[in-house]
A and B are shown apart, each in its own frame.
Chain A
Amino acid sequence: MSKASLSMRPALQGYVLLAPALLVYLLFAVYPMIDVIRMSFASWNGLSAESRFVGIDNYRAVLTQDPVFWGALWNTLWWTALAVVIPNLISFGLALALNQNVPGRSSLRVVFYLPVIIASIAVATIWKWMYDPFFGLFNSLLTSWGLSDWIVDWLGDRKIALWSVFAAHVWQSVGFSMVLFLAGLQSVSLTLIEAARIDGAGRWAVFRHVTLPALTPTITIVFVLSLINSLKAFDIVYGMTGGGPAQSTQMLAMWAYTQSMQLGDFGRGAAISVILLLITLAVVVPYMRWMFRNPEDAR
Chain B
Amino acid sequence: MSLLSQAFRPVGSNRVDPMLVALWLALVVLALVWITPFIFIVFTALKSSDAVMNTSAFALPTEPDFGNFVSAWQRGNFSTTAFNGVIITFIKVPLGLFISAMAAYALAKVPMRFSKVFLALCVFGTMLPFQVMLAPIFKQVNAFGLINTYPGIILPYLAFGVPYQVFILHGFFAAVPKELSEAARIDGASHFTIFRRIFLPVSLPVLSALLILDFVATWNEFAMALVILQDPKMWTLPLGLMNFQSQFQSNYGELNAAIIMTVLPAAIVYLMFQRYFVAGLTTGAVKE
Contact = CB atoms under 8 A, between A and B. Distances in A.
A299 B236 CA distance: 35
Contacts of B227: 257, 261
B285 to A, nearest CB: 7
Given A28-B155, A186-B287, A270-B136, A20 B281 contact: no
On chain A, which size bracket covers the interface?
35 or more
A24 B256 contact: no
A66 interface: no
B37 A291 contact: no
Interface string B96-108: 0001101101110
Given A10-B191, A228-B129, A108 B245 contact: no
A150 to B, nearest CB: 16
A112 B57 CA distance: 22
Nearest to A299: B171
A231 B129 contact: yes
B267 A114 contact: yes
A125 B245 contact: yes
Interface string B259-274: 1001100110011001
A160 interface: no
Nearest to A284: B127
A224 interface: yes
A204 interface: no
Interface string A25-37: 1011111110110
Contacts of B166: 21
B128 A280 contact: yes
Contact of B242 (A121, A136, A187, A266): A121
Contacts of B78: none
Interface stretch (A57-65, A67-75, A81-89, A96-104): A96-104
Contact of A183 (B106, B131, B287): B287
Contacts of A120: 220, 222, 238
A97 to B, nearest CB: 5
